């Protein structure tokens, strides 16, 4: 028992010595890391950091972009960050922040003055971001709400309100509020061969103090619709002031979005929009919102359909579809676009035993825009975006199933040097010039249709049947002849009777 008490006293002395040393060294201890974040009703976040009674950490100016306030009741100091900065010591800059305009939707009559977020969003849709970083409230005389002596409630989730009966004189002052937001999204452009569409985040407009009703395309009557988060501007490729320009085999559709300050001719927003459609069928979209370009992509609405006959009025819906070997196959390639300034050009069409087959395993109907198959027939369709043609079906050694695959170019009608206008290219030099002229425009749209299941034609079947009959008859005749020859040999053998050979005896050699 005595030894145990001695050990307890010894450890107590060691602890006392270490604790005294730690107290004497307090001045050299850096501030401990933050442990608590308090959200207040002021315009900024307040981050608290635990400190010790001595020294007072505010004299060290720990708040890099804000003011320091000691809080000795809880052994904390507080950094009150200026708008646009955050962190324990206001060291982190918040990028792309902005203040909304001031809102004063209510007068302090009736129950009080209410500028709540719910009411503001209903009356000013799309102007306030979904998650404000801070709120600032002032009277119409520009006195901060926390300096009026009135009891008010404000925050980034509720907005602001003041209740009359809570005031000393039962009357609230008239307040206005604004919100600090962060612009996190950029406009999004979507292009297709049918239309172009731009989605602008509403907080982007709010940062410019623009209303969704102030935004339109080149044609001022083309305005957008807005959801809870976006303003959406939509235009066909031949409306709302959209223009088309050919660059090689690439067609560029352009428009511009404008944002005018309400009631004035001054604009705060100009976003040029460009949708580039190349001969691969890819749509490349770009816009220029002041500084940076953005891109998106889509594809042409292209299709290939097989028909029953040359009237091209009875499409084939069920595959595999059976056709006679050597019978004509009728095909249509269609570019589905509302614009009339595009051309569709068949560069390569081939029949293959399976999709993606090698050239050596395929039968070319068209190659480099030139007819390869003598049976190829082109039919007038009356539409630059529609090609009608036919060819005689072929058969491959590995089966009766055939696919039709085509590569096409899409060109602007005004470009007289395009692949569509040049047409058939046979010489190697022309091919080299074609590729080097504008490489990005020499890519193809690949389409396939099938499979077709081939059956022998009636005439061919009749010939084969006759030939097979002749073969069978000849084989039967030969078989009968062989049997007859064998029978004759047997008969002759039997008619001669047994064959005896003369045997020489010993008597014949006696002397």
If one compares 277 and 446, the residue with the highest pLDDT of the two is: 277
Report pLDDT for 450: 58
Domain end among 252, 268, 299? 299
Average pLDDT, integer, range 236-251: 81
Confidence of residue 121 (pLDDT cuts 50, 70, 90): confident
Confidence of residue 116 (pLDDT cuts 50, 70, 90): very high
If one compares 304 and 17, the residue with the highest pLDDT of the two is: 304
Q: What are phi and psi of 163, to 5 degrees?
A: -105, 130
Lowest mean pLDDT among 234-238, 290-294, 329-333, 350-354: 290-294
Identify whether the C-beta of residue 273 lies closer than 8 Å to the C-beta of residue 254. Answer: yes
Lowest mean pLDDT among 143-147, 336-340, 365-369: 336-340
The CATH number of whichever domain residue 218 belongs to comes to 2.60.40.3210
Report pLDDT for 165: 94
Highest mean pLDDT among 342-356, 455-469, 479-493: 342-356
Q: Are residues 194 and 242 in the same domain?
A: yes
Q: How far apart are alpha carbons 215 and 259 in whole angstroms?
A: 5
Highest mean pLDDT among 46-55, 175-184, 478-487: 175-184
Confidence of residue 477 (pLDDT cuts 50, 70, 90): very low
Report pLDDT for 266: 64
Structural domain harbouring 493: 463-511
Q: Is the pLDDT of residue 402 over 50?
A: yes
Domain end among 264, 299, 334? 299
Confidence of residue 117 (pLDDT cuts 50, 70, 90): very high
Residue with tokens 């580039």: 276
Q: Are residues 343 and 445 in the same domain?
A: yes
How many structural domains compose the chain? 5
Q: Is the pLDDT of residue 190 over 50?
A: yes
Highest mean pLDDT among 25-34, 246-255, 291-300: 246-255
Q: Are residues 177 and 102 in the same domain?
A: yes
Confidence of residue 227 (pLDDT cuts 50, 70, 90): confident
Report pLDDT for 455: 60
Q: Is the pLDDT of residue 75 over 80?
A: no
Average pLDDT, integer, range 376-398: 84
Report pLDDT for 480: 39
Take residue 68 and report the two structure tokens written for it: 């320091």
Report pLDDT for 100: 83
Average pLDDT, integer, range 189-196: 83
Lowest mean pLDDT among 42-51, 64-73, 165-174: 42-51
Ordered DSSP codes for 185-199:
---EEEE-SSEEEEE
Q: Are residues 330 and 417 in the same domain?
A: yes
Q: Are residues 211 and 249 in the same domain?
A: yes
Q: Are residues 307 and 451 in the same domain?
A: yes
Report pLDDT for 448: 57
Report pLDDT for 382: 87
Q: Is the pLDDT of residue 481 over 50?
A: no
The CATH number of whichever domain residue 349 belongs to comes to 2.60.40.4100
If one compares 468 and 93, the residue with the highest pLDDT of the two is: 93
Q: Are residues 112 and 232 in the same domain?
A: no
DSSP character for 457? -
If one compares 295 and 72, the residue with the highest pLDDT of the two is: 72
Average pLDDT of the chain is: 70
Residue with tokens 């060294």: 25
Closest among 460, 488, 477, 292 to 392, alpha carbons compared: 460
Closest among 337, 471, 464 to 410, alpha carbons compared: 337
Q: Tell whether omega for the bond before 320 is within 30 degrees of 0, i.e. cis.
A: yes
If one compares 223 and 355, the residue with the highest pLDDT of the two is: 223
Closest among 47, 24, 26 to 35, alpha carbons compared: 47
Q: Is the pLDDT of residue 360 over 50?
A: yes
Ordered DSSP codes for 320-386:
SEEEETT-EEEEEEEE--S-SSEEEEEEEEEEESSTT--GGGSEEEEETTEE-STT-EEE--S-TTE
Q: Are residues 491 and 469 in the same domain?
A: yes
Take residue 501 and report the two structure tokens written for it: 């050979």
Q: Are residues 358 and 413 in the same domain?
A: yes
Sheet holding 195-201, edge to edge: 188-191, 195-201, 230-236, 225-226
Domain end among 126, 159, 182? 182
Report pLDDT for 482: 42
Q: Is the pLDDT of residue 340 over 50?
A: yes
Q: Are residues 315 and 425 in the same domain?
A: yes
Q: Are residues 72 and 111 in the same domain?
A: no
Q: Are residues 276 and 192 in the same domain?
A: yes
Confidence of residue 45 (pLDDT cuts 50, 70, 90): very low
Between the two ends of the chain, the Cα-to-Cα distance in Å is 153
Highest mean pLDDT among 56-60, 149-153, 222-226: 149-153
């Amino acid at each position: 028992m005595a030894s145990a008490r001695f050990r307890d006293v010894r450890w107590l002395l060691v602890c006392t010595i270490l604790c005294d040393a730690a107290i004497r060294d307090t001045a050299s201890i850096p501030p401990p890391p933050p442990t608590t974040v308090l959200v207040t009703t002021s315009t900024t976040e307040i981050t608290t950091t635990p400190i010790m009674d001595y020294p007072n950490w505010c004299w060290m100016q720990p708040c890099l972009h804000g003011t320091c306030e000691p809080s000795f009741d809880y052994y904390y100091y507080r950094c009150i960050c200026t708008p646009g900065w955050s962190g324990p010591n206001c060291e982190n800059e918040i990028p792309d922040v902005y203040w909304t305009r001031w809102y004063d939707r209510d007068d302090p009559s009736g129950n009080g003055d209410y500028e709540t977020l719910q009411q503001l969003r209903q009356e000013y849709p799309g102007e306030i971001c979904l998650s404000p970083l801070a709120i600032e409230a002032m009277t119409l005389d520009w006195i901060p709400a926390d300096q009026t002596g009135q009891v008010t409630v404000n925050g980034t989730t509720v907005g602001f309100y003041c209740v009359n009966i809570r005031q000393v004189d039962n009357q609230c002052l008239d307040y206005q509020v604004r919100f600090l937001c962060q612009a996190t999204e950029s406009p999004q452009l979507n292009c297709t061969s049918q239309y172009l569409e731009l989605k602008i985040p509403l907080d982007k407009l709010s940062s410019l103090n623009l209303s969704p009703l102030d935004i339109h395309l080149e044609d001022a009557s083309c305005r957008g619709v807005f959801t809870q988060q976006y303003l959406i501007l939509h235009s066909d490729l031949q409306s709302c002031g959209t223009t088309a320009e050919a660059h090689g085999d690439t067609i560029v559709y352009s428009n511009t979005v404008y944002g005018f300050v309400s009631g004035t001719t001054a604009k705060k927003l100009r976003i040029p929009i460009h949708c580039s459609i190349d001969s691969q069928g890819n749509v490349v979209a770009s816009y220029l919102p002041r500084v940076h370009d953005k891109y998106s992509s889509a594809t042409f609405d292209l299709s290939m359909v097989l028909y029953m006959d040359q009237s091209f009025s009875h499409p084939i819906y069920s595959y595999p579809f059976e056709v006679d070997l050597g019978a004509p196959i009728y095909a249509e390639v269609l570019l589905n676009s509302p614009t009339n300034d595009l051309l569709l050009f068949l560069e390569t069409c081939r029949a293959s035993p399976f999709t993606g087959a090698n050239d050596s395993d395929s039968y070319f109907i068209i190659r480099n825009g030139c007819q390869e198959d003598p049976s190829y027939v082109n039919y007038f369709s009356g539409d630059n975006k529609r090609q009608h043609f036919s060819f005689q079906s072929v058969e491959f050694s590995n089966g009766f199933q055939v696919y039709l695959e085509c590569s096409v170019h899409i060109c602007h009608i005004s470009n007289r040097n395009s692949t569509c206008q040049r047409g058939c290219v046979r010489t190697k030099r022309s091919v080299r010039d074609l590729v080097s002229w504008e490489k990005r425009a020499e890519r193809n749209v690949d389409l396939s249709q099938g499979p077709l299941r081939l059956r022998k034609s009636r005439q061919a079947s009749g010939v084969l049947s006759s030939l097979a009959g002749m073969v069978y008859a000849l084989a039967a005749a030969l078989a009968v002849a062989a049997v007859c020859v064998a029978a004759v040999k047997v008969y002759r053998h039997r008619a001669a009777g047994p064959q005896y050979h003369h045997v020489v005896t010993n008597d014949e050699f006696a002397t």
